[in-house]
Structure 1
């Protein structure tokens, strides 16, 4: 892909994300919203092409991320032009940077990445984008806008909905709660916390203690145990994902608080996921957080095979899951599977 063939094309549509343009146009200037969609246009070879996609996963210790990879694998299996190579960074920023760099050396046609943390991965994502490789960022963001498209749910809104659930259903008279947060440098951790704070604003609910549990069940149990010992008067727990919430349930049981209300986020429609945890009564509620795997493969097809356009941001829908709808939603999401 010679740099001499690159030409810039700026598309600005009332604040809507930039899209990939038709074949034959590429970019030379600053990446992101001001640079157009050159990488996608340059990479497109049409239906007769063969494409290698690199999928850089933050870790596979979280069930959510295993499901994300599975969703990508399943969707890509129906597109014979695609070969997807997967890498697991195991929550190691340096390892993820190295793995993406290896993908670039291998001359991949498109990069899908769910960054472990935003800032440490920004540089290598920009490097891929500047080399003319379309980049789809899933779930967790990077700094700046040097990527083709971000695909994920609105974490601020999900956090706000969780806060409103506490305010309207769990503690309508106010009360004290503790909060388990995800990996500190990942964008969903901050956004969910910000949204939750907005959701409980003016409610009389006080967050008396917080702890980072890195999205992991075991660490969620350890941190919840410490929080409940430090704040024995806590009346509920908000966990930024379901595995930490399940760990918190074990801590609550060990503390003699088996009925303590606990709310999580993810809502995976699998036997060990959050929807079943709500159905079984281990969690009071959860919120569906789509993996974006199928949507990423669809975007890759549009960019590489159809020579089409994708939005700079694709916001995926969420849904509140409680005991009232858990069984129904689980069945709906598993139809045909």
Structure 2
């Protein structure tokens, strides 16, 4: 019935336009717009091309970010290309991908930089062409950037550190395995962990890079265990791959009385937590939501709208108590 009245109104308007000397073309355009809004609830599809350059596509976490980007593309009716180098350490490879995406032509570009400075230099070409630049997960921080969609890594790591310290009790000593040297996200997570330890009077015996990989973290943890035998109570890790590496090193050394905290909320890490393994918690970001929100923000800007300069994504500390509920929610987001 509603559609009938809309069509009747359009007919009346067309007759009115004819009487006033208006053309049939204007009438046809108005009717098409009304039908489109009626069928899609106000959302219209378009041919925007949005490029997304992530840190890598070879990890579970970044797969969730990509899934969110893809879901937004399907629901908002835009074309989204998601790429990433083989490893987060491949700074030059990511820069090349940024340049390729801009050169191929895109209406907006979203980036999670492996190195903010290197990425900013490459993304400047997009800004020079009037192409919106957005950051996701890790802030590029380039002047003229549209928005940053992500987590406060300092605050998130701080919460993970506080939880671990609460479990370990008085007199605990910790180590920090951070990520890639010079990476801004790594620096912020390390800062958050350190802040939690400093406030609680927990001594940080060492802070070393695990290179963002399981193998790298295994070697780093082996070195820490050798340097501080029997002293380490808490291991605060840059991501879940790092936490798994630390766990492997502890098991190989016969160490079982440590609390390992990961970061990212990967399902593989939560499974280990629920199984009662050495990883006791992971600081869970919402990578799916971040990917979705980043594409959504790009579309909003391309449609002439505005977005906040920072779009915050919440976090939670996932433990054995809430791990299953977290996994169930993760599964529902993936469909």
TM surpasses 0.5: yes
Matches within 5 A, 1:70-81: 70-80=67-77
Give the one of 144, 159, 162 matched to 1:161. 159
Residue 99 of structure 2 corresponds to 101
Residue 30 of structure 1 corresponds to none
Higher helix share: 2
> How far did 1:69 drift?
1.6
State the structure with bigger RCO (CA 8 A, min sep 6), 1 or 2.
Answer: 1
> How far did 1:156 drift?
0.6
Report if the CA contact (8 A) 1:62-1:216 is conserved. Answer: no
Normalising by structure 2, report the TM-score: 0.80
Matches within 5 A, 1:231-250: 231-232=228-229, 233-250=231-248
Q: Distance in 2 between matches of 1:168 and 1:216?
A: 27
Residue 185 of structure 2 corresponds to 188
Residue 279 of structure 1 corresponds to 274
Q: Distance in 2 between matches of 1:215 and 1:48?
A: 39
Report if the CA contact (8 A) 2:177-2:238 is conserved. Answer: yes
Deviations 1:44-77 (A, max 9, x none): xx94631111111222233211221222123212
Deviations 1:26-61 (A, max 9, x none): xxxxxxxxxxxxxxxxxxxx9463111111122223
Q: Distance in 2 between matches of 1:290 and 1:174?
A: 33
Report if the CA contact (8 A) 2:44-2:76 is conserved. Answer: no
> How far did 1:323 drift?
1.2
- Report which of the two structures shows the higher radius of gyration computed on alpha carbons: 2
- Structure 2 residues not aligned, in runs of 5+: 1-42
Residue 116 of structure 1 corresponds to 114
Report if the CA contact (8 A) 2:164-2:259 is conserved. Answer: no
Question: Secondary structure of 2:224's match?
Answer: helix
Q: Distance in 1 between matches of 2:187 and 2:118?
A: 16
Q: Distance in 1 between matches of 2:324 and 2:44?
A: 41
Q: Distance in 2 between matches of 1:333 and 1:97?
A: 31
Deviations 1:4-23 (A, max 9, x none): xxxxxxxxxxxxxxxxxxxx
Report if the CA contact (8 A) 1:140-1:186 is conserved. Answer: no
> How far did 1:181 drift?
0.4
Q: Distance in 2 between matches of 1:76 and 1:259?
A: 46
Normalising by structure 1, report the TM-score: 0.80
Q: Distance in 1 between matches of 2:297 and 2:63?
A: 20
Matches within 5 A, 1:1-337: 47=44, 49-80=46-77, 82-90=78-86, 91-170=89-168, 172-232=169-229, 233-268=231-266, 270=267, 272=268, 274-282=269-277, 283-291=279-287, 292-304=290-302, 306-335=303-332, 337=335
Residue 38 of structure 1 corresponds to none
RMSD of aligned C-alpha atoms?
Answer: 1.8
Relative to structure 1, the CA distance from residue 58 to residue 335 in structure 2 (aligned partners, 3 Å threshold; closer, same or farther) is closer
Report if the CA contact (8 A) 1:288-1:320 is conserved. Answer: yes
Question: Secondary structure of 1:78's match?
Answer: helix
Q: Distance in 2 between matches of 1:326 and 1:95?
A: 35
Q: Distance in 1 between matches of 2:182 and 2:138?
A: 10
Q: Distance in 2 between matches of 1:238 and 1:326?
A: 19
